[in-house]
């Protein structure tokens, strides 16, 4: 048995290295022979650095696992994520967008079938219409003002971890918009139990993806083991699943004055006969996607402007000269050129999704960024490598908002797509922009921030699995 196993491993490695359809593609041999490098990269916390090194060494097209090709070319965005004129579509990779009935119920993000996704998206998109956003803005402003009070009060006591404050307010906003019920984190100055659990179990999903790549059976066993395990991750995941079901069940028993996200989720349930578990998946995905992108971008933006005094002073000058009071700040009035450029640059230098959003090449094969890719290959654009590719952005490691204002900068601005492209692009990106404009404008108008640890570097120190895990962001707060 041992001999047979060894023979299988060796023969499989030889095939992958010399006879696989991707054998001639550039990339490291240790990535080509097995999925072990992929698995280690996913769970190791350094995927962004690992893949960027590979792209720096091998170019804009890299084979980094037996059947995986990563791109850092800006042209690959449309080729992979936007449907072809021929009607061919690169479907989501089911081994990455894992959905099961235990730890990861299916929702809009994990739905592979294009028709089912389109049906659900057509309903949920009503929650992000222009009219809906105008109605939601009052809620956003109310919680942002509560955040300003919290920062002012806690900042007088000493340095604060501003990352926590951003998490609190974004989850509070999404809780209100989804369930018509806030998590109350800003008011209590601590994360709600549901929110804290979500943040603590996030690394599990990276392990889940890696386990599925190893074996679907192994992933199923791991999910069950983690859920029923006595250790803390298992307890957190069980608590999260239980609390999520309780929240959605409680929302089903009441009818709010205005439509919230759950109102639209219930429409999908009625049309597609969704289970209660699937309802939990949809609501959780809406909250996590809506809060995660905004909070991590706010933290990254704060980090980089504090490290770049010239940018910070220019931003303060624009914001503070545009308003007499913070009450004048709205998503429309905060649509200032330099502020918008700073947000775009934060999204570029620290994209919300640190990994490769994988898609499957149609069976007949397709050309991506000028390179023919065999059918059934797993492909994707690695955001971190693409936005730090000097062919796309000059001086890519520098925080330079001016690149977004200069039409002659020579940068390929379309190479930065933090919300993806095509029919699977983030459904809530307009809401994210609304929150970012209001939050950044009010914070810059009311406060001066100074990093406590001048040596901290999120570009170096953040460690993602599937999503970001970033260090504390301690700042001194000085009212304007």
With b for 16 or more beta-carbon neighbours within 10 A and e for fewer, the 170-184 pattern comes to: bbbbbbbbbbbebbe
Residue 52 pLDDT greater than 60, yes or no = yes
Measure the CA–CA gap between 68 and 70, rounded to whole angstroms: 7
Cβ-contact 109, 286 below 8 angstroms: no
Of the given ranges (68-72, 264-268, 415-419), which has the lowest mean pLDDT?
264-268
The domain segmentation of the chain, as residue ranges, is 2-479
pLDDT band, very low/low/confident/very high, at 366 (cuts 50, 70, 90): very high
Interval 430-463: pLDDT, tens? 999 999 999 999 999 999 999 999 999 999 988 8
What is the pTM for the complete model shown? 0.93
Does 178 carry a binding-site annotation? no
**Measured distance CA(162)–CA(477) in Å, rounded:** 10
- Does the pLDDT value for residue 359 go beyond 50? yes
The DSSP string of 41-110 is HHHHT-HHHHHHHHHHHH-SEEEEETTEEEE--TTHHHHHHS--TTS---EE-TTTS---SSSS---TTT
Query: Which architecture characterizes domain 2-479 according to CATH?
Result: Orthogonal Bundle (1.10)
């Amino acid at each position: 048995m041992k001999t047979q196993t060894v023979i299988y491993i060796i023969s499989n490695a030889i095939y992958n290295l010399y006879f696989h359809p991707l054998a001639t593609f550039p990339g490291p041999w240790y990535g080509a022979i097995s999925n072990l490098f992929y698995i280690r990269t996913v769970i190791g916390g350094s995927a962004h650095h690992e893949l960027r090194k590979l792209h720096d060494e091998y170019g804009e097209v890299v084979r980094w696992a037996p059947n995986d090709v990563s791109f850092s070319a800006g042209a690959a965005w449309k080729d992979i994520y936007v449907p072809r004129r021929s009607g061919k579509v690169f479907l989501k990779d089911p081994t990455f967008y894992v959905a099961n009935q235990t730890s990861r119920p299916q929702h809009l993000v994990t739905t592979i079938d294009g028709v089912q996704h389109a049906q659900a998206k057509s309903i949920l998109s009503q929650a992000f219409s222009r009219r809906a956003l105008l109605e939601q803005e009052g809620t956003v402003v109310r919680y942002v003002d509560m955040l300003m009070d919290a920062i002012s009060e806690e900042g007088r006591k000493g340095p604060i971890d501003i990352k926590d404050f951003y998490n609190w307010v974004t989850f509070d906003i999404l809780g209100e918009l989804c369930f018509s019920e806030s998590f109350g984190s800003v008011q209590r100055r601590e994360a709600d139990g549901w929110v804290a659990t979500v943040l603590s179990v996030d690394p599990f999903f990276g392990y889940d993806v890696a386990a599925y790549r190893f074996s679907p059976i192994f992933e199923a066993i791991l999910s069950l083991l983690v859920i029923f395990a006595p250790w803390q991750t298992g307890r957190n995941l069980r608590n999260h699943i239980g609390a999520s079901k309780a929240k959605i069940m409680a929302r089903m028993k009441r009818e709010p004055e205005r439509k919230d996200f759950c109102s639209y989720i219930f429409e999908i349930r009625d049309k597609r006969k969704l289970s209660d578990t699937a309802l939990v998946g949809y609501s959780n995905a809406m909250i996590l996607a809506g809060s995660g992108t905004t909070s991590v971008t706010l933290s990254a933006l704060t980090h980089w402007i504090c490290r770049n005094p010239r940018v910070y002073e220019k931003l303060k000058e624009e914001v503070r000269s545009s308003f007499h009071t913070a009450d004048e700040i709205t998503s429309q009035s905060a649509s200032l050129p330099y502020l918008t450029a700073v947000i775009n640059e934060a999204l570029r230098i620290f994209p919300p999704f640190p990994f490769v959003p994988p898609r499957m090449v149609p069976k007949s094969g397709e050309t991506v960024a000028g390179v023919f890719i065999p059918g059934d290959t797993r492909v994707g654009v690695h955001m971190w490598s693409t936005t730090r590719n000097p062919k796309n952005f000059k001086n890519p490691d520098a925080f330079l908002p001016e690149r977004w204002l200069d039409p002659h900068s020579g940068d390929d601005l379309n190479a930065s797509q933090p919300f993806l492209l095509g029919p699977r692009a983030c459904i809530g990106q307009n809401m994210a922009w609304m929150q970012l404009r209001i939050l950044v404008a009010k914070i810059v108008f009311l406060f001066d921030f100074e990093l406590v640890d001048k040596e901290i570097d999120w570009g170096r120190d953040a460690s993602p699995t599937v999503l970001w895990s970033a260090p504390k962001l301690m700042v001194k707060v000085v009212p304007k």
